[in-house]
């Protein structure tokens, strides 16, 4: 346990938050810094073919220790953290949780009334932030667990396994993690992303996803003489938002229900830019949502004389279509969980992972848990036991794969 916590603390001290406004890959230098550290660690452990490519992707192989051929498994995690908050966590708090609210600092507290799952964590050792940064468990807990599992397998050669491929990707949080992934060079038959939430999560369904950019060119005129001349782009932006179904906003949806999210809006009377994300598990409903958006803008352009532009770009698709022909990899994960007395929780991801894109690139890649909670914010936390448990699960999966 000591090694995995040391690794995790070392990784989260490096600011690797990605930047969607950057056109480079990786989008931030911290990801290259962390990747270089991981390369050295993997080499020191004795893995083969360890490299960091020019785009910041890290690859390595733990060679088979058996003579028979078995499927080659990959394990993948991402280097970056969410851009939503400072990603350099240099003051994590580690303690045995005795129940009640968790005070992070004088301003922020993790309250049990807001996060009722806390009652399930009483008695466990937790790692939290100090309230000023992300923790970075998404996905540095995944990285730490994967490397811990490789160290264990090397130290215990009596555990038989085939070739194991490791991949650490940049810029997953801004939807680019699989863009330049070397699927052919990775050379795995299937893989798992280690990027889920609470213990037991096993996911092979995710949202179909698209981004929508809308620009509104208004007409700014002095308000004292604006009658019949001013076109307020901000007001039209509100008209667009109010025309979207209120029941299909994230705060009113769950399970398989999709949504429209106004992510950012920057504007003035003269010009406004809006960024939306569109999500749905159903491909038919996903297409309907995009079509509704386009029809809405067409209608408003007729009303306001073509002052609105819309750009819709698909981000990723539901991996279910690509996983269902290979359900043996889901059964392998389920069997391994049950042997560790982990109850599998097969649920749809209300989001996406690198695995969704990779599945469509020819690498079937469901997602398994890290054990963390409250990702993408200052209230993020993870039980230390969870990181060790995912490490044990990785070992069990490769062991069962070789039987």
Q: Residue 188 forms beta bridges with which residues?
A: none
Helix (H) or strand (E) holding 234: helix 233-243
80 catalytic? Reply is yes
Radius of gyration of the chain (CA): 23
Which residue in 41, 80, 138, 195 is the catalytic one? 80
Nearest 5 degrees, angle CA 140-CA 74-CA 370?
30
Which residue in 148, 163, 171, 172 is the catalytic one? 172
> What are the backbone angles phi and psi of residue 62, rounded to the nearest 5°?
-100, 115
Cα-based distances in Å from 164 to 38, 49, 141, 401: 16, 11, 19, 11
Question: Positive or negative CA dihedral for 229, 235, 237, 239?
Answer: negative
Give the span between the Cα atoms of 46 and 343, in whole angstroms: 33
172 catalytic? Reply is yes
Peptide bond into 139 cis (omega under 30): yes
Query: Closest Cα to residue 358, out of 232, 224, 186, 181?
Result: 181
232-247 b/e with 16+ CB inside 10 Å = b?
Answer: bbbebbeebeeebeee
**195 touches 351 (CB < 8 A):** no
Give the span between the Cα atoms of 198 and 372, in whole angstroms: 6
Q: 388: alpha, beta or left, given left = phi > 0 and alpha = psi -120 to 50?
A: alpha
CA 12 to chain centre: 16
Residue positions annotated with a catalytic role = 80, 172
């Amino acid at each position: 346990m000591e090694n995995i916590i040391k690794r995790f603390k070392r990784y989260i001290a490096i600011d690797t938050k990605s930047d969607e406004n950057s056109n480079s890959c990786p989008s931030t230098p911290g990801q290259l810094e962390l990747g270089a550290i991981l390369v050295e660690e993997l080499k020191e452990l004795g893995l083969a073919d360890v490299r960091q490519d020019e785009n910041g992707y890290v690859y390595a192989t733990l060679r088979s220790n058996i003579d028979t051929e078995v499927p080659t498994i990959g394990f993948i995690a991402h280097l970056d953290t969410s851009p939503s908050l400072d990603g350099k966590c240099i003051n994590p708090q580690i303690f045995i949780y005795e129940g009640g609210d968790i005070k992070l600092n004088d301003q922020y507290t993790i309250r049990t009334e807001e996060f009722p799952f806390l009652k399930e964590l009483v008695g466990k050792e937790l790692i939290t932030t100090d309230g000023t940064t992300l923790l970075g468990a998404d996905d540095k807990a995944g990285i730490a667990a994967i490397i811990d599992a490789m160290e264990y397998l090397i130290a215990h050669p009596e555990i038989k396994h085939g070739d194991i491929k490791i991949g650490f990707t940049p810029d997953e949080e801004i939807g680019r993690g699989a863009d330049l992934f070397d699927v052919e060079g990775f050379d795995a038959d299937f893989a798992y992303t280690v990027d889920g939430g609470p213990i037991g999560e096993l996911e092979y369904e995710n949202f179909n996803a698209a981004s929508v950019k809308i620009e509104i060119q208004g007409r700014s005129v002095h308000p004292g003489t604006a009658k019949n001349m001013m076109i307020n782009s901000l007001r039209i932006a509100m008209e667009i938002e109010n025309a979207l179904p209120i029941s299909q906003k994230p705060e009113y949806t769950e399970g398989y229900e999709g949504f429209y999210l106004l992510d950012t809006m920057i504007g003035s009377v003269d010009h406004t830019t809006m960024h939306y994300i569109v999500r749905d598990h159903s491909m038919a409903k996903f297409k309907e949502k995009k079509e509704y958006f386009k029809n809405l803008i067409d209608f408003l352009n007729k009303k306001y004389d073509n002052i609105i532009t819309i750009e819709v770009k698909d981000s990723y698709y539901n991996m279910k279509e690509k996983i269902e022909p290979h359900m043996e990899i889901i059964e392998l994960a389920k069997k391994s969980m049950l042997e560790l007395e982990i109850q599998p929780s097969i649920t749809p991801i209300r989001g996406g992972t690198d695995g969704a894109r990779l599945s469509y690139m020819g690498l079937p890649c469901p997602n398994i848990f890290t054990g963390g909670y409250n990702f993408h914010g200052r209230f993020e936390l993870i039980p230390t036991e969870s990181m060790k448990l995912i490490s044990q699960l990785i070992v069990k999966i490769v062991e069962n794969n070789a039987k």
